[in-house]
A and B are shown apart, each in its own frame.
Chain A
């Protein structure tokens, strides 16, 4: 990790209070393929916990995050390890423990919603980082579930 990368994100952090999210993310988009992705995760984690109001709605943040990932072209094995880093460093609670993580799908059959991505199971929560889709599984419609 180079000093210039650190400067890049430190500089962005300072801009967070004055610039809008779109502008900051555009800057990240331009550089994300060439920076150490771990620095990006540190940047993102800190922003999420400290500057949420600046970042806007959660849906917007998730959309932006997925867009960044698409542009960063990270392979799926590397991605799940990086997200594990993000989850453990920024989102695990004091009395929470990450037990399992894997690629998969979580379907909420009662809400007909499908979440595709990386699944993290802790002793308190099931978390999915990825896409949310309306579940239109024909099998479910015909058979009414399982």
Chain B
């Protein structure tokens, strides 16, 4: 089985028992230009990365597809995936998706990559959501839940000061009973109550950080 692009043939190969077609970096700008693609109804893995595709159109016959790589293209809108009911892996990294509403698309893929798209910064700025899983989860929330998430994110985002999430704290040293040095995710911090020499506070911080660790 093969497809043809600009007169050149590309064959479906078997990779660990799975049918695989590598069309990476073939100068494709329109999926419909790939002759014979519509007949590959049993194809499992399709790599279209590194082309200049702007729109996902023409993949409907590939209902058996479970892995699709569309990274490093020029796709702007998340659509054209409805027919791909068996899709488990979808890579859309490094495209041009910027519309937040795109996230309301119904994707069956359980692994979904979208980093390197303008939408990621947009979502991060608006909602403070950082992980892909969160982005996908967010799109599925009810309106009330979305409002609740935004409220919580705003509370954290707009805190009038400086803040550090407590992650994997480890006490390193306590100095003169009024300084405590600890590490969190590779950064070294020191809390100093020197002005008041507040031993009690240092002791409480010590207890708290220890309880957090255990």
Query: Which residues of A approach B to under 8 Å, CB–CB?
Result: 44, 48-49, 52, 58, 61-62, 65, 86-87, 90-94, 99-100, 102-111, 115, 117, 119, 121, 123-130, 132, 145-146
CB of B148 to closest CB in A, whole Å: 8
CB distance from B197 to the nearest CB of A (A): 11
The 6 A-B pairs with the shortest beta carbon distances in the complex, nearest first, are A129-B161, A109-B188, A110-B187, A107-B190, A105-B192, A127-B163
Cβ of B152 and Cβ of A93 under 8 Å apart? yes
B151 contacts which chain A residues (CB < 8 A)?
49
Question: Distance (Å) between the CB of B55 and the closest chain A CB?
Answer: 33
CB distance from A47 to the nearest CB of B (A): 9
Contacts of B188 in A (CB 8 A): 108-110, 145-146
Which residues of chain B are within 8 angstroms of A125 by Cβ–Cβ distance?
Answer: 156, 163-166
User: In the complex, are the beta carbons of B208 and A128 less than 8 A apart?
Assistant: no
A102 touches B201 (CB 8 A): yes
User: B148 — nearest CB in chain A belongs to which residue?
Assistant: A94
Q: Which residues in B have their C-beta under 8 angstroms from that of A130? A: 161
Number of A-B contacts (CB under 8 A): 115
B191 at the interface (CB under 8 A from A): yes
CB-defined contacts of A107 to chain B, threshold 8 Å: 189-192
The verdict on A91 contacting B189 (CB below 8 Å), with A100-B208, A124-B165, A128-B163 known, is no
CB-CB < 8 A to A100: which residues of B?
201, 204-205, 208
Instruction: Evaluate contact between B201 and A52: CB separation under 8 angstroms.
Output: no
Q: Is B196 an interface residue (CB 8 A)?
A: yes
Determine whether B181 belongs to the interface, using a CB cutoff of 8 Å to chain A: yes
Cα A117 to Cα B160 in complex, Å, equals 12
Contact of A128 with B158 in the complex, beta carbons under 8 Å:
no
Out of A58, A93, A99, A129, name the residue touching B158 (CB < 8 Å).
A58
Q: Is the CB of A126 within 8 A of B192?
A: no
Q: How far is the CA of A111 from the CA of B184 in the complex (A)?
A: 13
The answer to whether B160 and A104 touch across the interface, beta carbons within 8 angstroms, is: no
Q: How far is the CA of A93 from the CA of B164 in the complex (A)?
A: 14
Alpha-carbon distance between A65 and B160 when the two chains are bound, in angstroms: 8
Give me 6 other A-B pairs in contact (C-beta within 8 A), A107-B191, A110-B188 excluded. Answer: A44-B160, A99-B208, A102-B193, A110-B186, A125-B164, A126-B189
Query: What distance in Å separates the Cβ of A79 from its nearest Cβ neighbour in chain B?
Result: 13
B131 interfacial by beta-carbon distance below 8 Å: no
In the assembled complex, the CB of A8 is this many whole angstroms from the nearest CB of chain B, namely 21
- Bound-state CA distance A105–B193 (Å) is 7
Residue from the set B162, B164, B175, B187 with the largest chain A CB neighbour count within 10 Å: B162
Instruction: Name A119's closest neighbour in chain B (CB-CB).
Output: B191
Closest A residue to B178 using CB positions: A104
Whose C-beta in chain A lies nearest to the C-beta of B173? A146
User: In the bound complex, what is the Cα–Cα distance between A107 and B192 (angstroms)?
Assistant: 8
Instruction: Report B170 CB to chain A, min CB distance, Å.
Output: 14
- Chain B residue nearest in CB terms to A126: B164
In the complex, which residue of chain B has the Cβ closest to the Cβ of A100? B204
Can you identify 27 A-B contacts, CB atoms within 8 angstroms?
Answer: A48-B158, A49-B155, A52-B158, A58-B158, A62-B160, A87-B159, A91-B160, A92-B155, A100-B201, A100-B204, A102-B193, A104-B193, A104-B195, A104-B198, A106-B190, A107-B190, A108-B164, A108-B187, A108-B188, A109-B188, A115-B162, A121-B208, A124-B165, A124-B166, A125-B164, A129-B161, A145-B188
